[in-house]
Structure 1
Amino acid sequence: MRLLIITTFLLFLSTISKAQISRQEYIKRYQLLAIDEMNRSGIPASITMAQGCLESGNGNSELSRKSNNHFGIKCKKGWKGKKVYYDDDHKNECFRRYTSVEESYIDHTNFLMDNPRYAELFKLDHTDYKGWARGLKKAGYATAHDYDKRLIKIIEENKLHRLDLRMTVNEMSSFEQKSMGRNVSSSLTINPYKSHEVIKMNRIKAVVAKKGDTFEMIAQELGLNDWELYNYNDRGPGYKPVANEVIYIQPKKNKSKARATHRVQEGESMHFISQMYGIKLSSLYRKNNMDPGQQPIPGQIISLQKKKR
């Protein structure tokens, strides 16, 4: 009886370990990683996603499961990272081994950016997925004679070109459902890779922007709407934060509890002061009897609590 239980348990574990994930599940799982890399490099997210699907068998290949190598990148000369050996075009070839899927996606970007063979591709627009697919084939990324056609087919069958517009699969579905007159949830996919530590500034929750961040990407990661971040930070649509900028993820206050006034320094704007103290920009203007858009001068005393008389 005990032997039967152990055998059943081992079979159960074996079934779990061999469970395959679908292409749609793979895309949902790693789409934001592809968009992040597009923001960093200009490589179309659709191309990265399609290559990941094709080269890793939707994350089911042995190389991707055991070594986190989702793009079939071989060691090549100069590779100093971890290695693993598989039979491919030749017997016992050296492939790169990564500690995470994220590391594989990042190295894929670096591999294309650092290799002169692919330099011409970066002259193409990030929405020209067909040009990128043909360019990858021409540059010899893979030996398959129809490599470009395979990538294009994956992109068009799964509408991955919308990733190049920074539209996630959930948003694609939402857009299509709304176009058919259906009510759908506005919840967004959470990015498990580009995590931002939530801090508190002026007793308000905030994050610190990283290079390449957009309000849309931060909102997706934190399960917010992008318009909320624009409103919370008094920014217009399309604004892109710079590295190390504090981004509030909750509404700012109407006044400061810590200080009553602020003396303006050279180069400081009303928006800068509102972010520094976590005060709504409109409230800051009202307290100081200033018109929206008007800027302070160095040495001016700005009220942070009471309205000036």
Structure 2
Amino acid sequence: MKRIIMLCLLTCFVFSCGTKKVAVKKKTSNKQRTEQVSIRKLPKETRKVGEEVEEVVNGVAVKIASTEDYIAAFKTVAQEEMRLYGIPASITIAQGILESNSGKGRLSVEANNHFGIKCHDWTGERIFHDDDADQECFRKYNDAKYSYRDHSLFLSQRSRYAALFKLKKEDYKGWAKELRKAGYATDKKYPDKLIDLIERYGLNQFDEEVLGNTYVKFEEPIYSGATYFVEKGDSMYSISKKFNMSIKELQDLNNLKSSSLSIGQELRINRNSEDTIAVVSGTKSPITNTVHIVGKGETLYSISKKYNISINELQQLNGLNDTGLSVGQRLKIKNQ
């Protein structure tokens, strides 16, 4: 009997030791797995509107409390980049304002990175920040001017932005639109945001200062007609802004119940005129359809077909003895 009792006690002891060993192993295994996947989350931006921040610009600590302060701090840097790389200062500053929240964003405050430039092949200091993915690597600079330089290099050394440098430097609207087209930003309103900042704060004056006597004020044509033909990329919003009217006015004038548009669609933009805008080689002319400006490749035949009149009528209206035309030549297409 004693032997049976001893055997039972021994069995219980062995079983209990085995269970503890298993439990310890599981605990150790769980701890290792936790350490491998642990990610430290950084605090999100909590700065208040109007709160003052300090940036290092050209080796000097500059305090920034507003967008105006930001512009004052970086206009000289942007102008220097324009002289060296040909990127309009107005565009550079507007992008800086938009992407750094006027210098108050975490990347600009803690890393002097105003354009969200990621590490890539960067070997210098870095900062980790949640962006498209958690804890992405961004470049960290000891002076914000180097962030502006990397922005210039980013645009000037990549082939997909080559079309930007074919535009006039005073054409900030063209630059804003081409940046979006080239894939710099996915936000469809990115060009409008840049243009709005430039015009609200008069940033194009910095372009004018750099260009000096070579500066030519760049303005879109003022359309005097009553009809607008929808182009690729147009929206009710962009057209209403172009002609200084509300979306509702535009819809009412054209008996539209929705905001959908199609390329080539004709829209009335003036209640009081019968004239329409002539379309010349895919672009709009700033004069009405009583006159046509000859575009590249156009002939009397193609123009006569466009306006549904005969070649003979065109010749008589314009006193032409032959069919020769020159680019830019003005042609009457109907009697006044």
Q: Please identify the structure whose Cα radius of gyration is greater.
A: 2
- Normalising by structure 1, report the TM-score: 0.47
- Normalising by structure 2, report the TM-score: 0.43
- Using CA pairs below 8 Å that are at least 6 residues apart, which structure has the higher relative contact order? 1
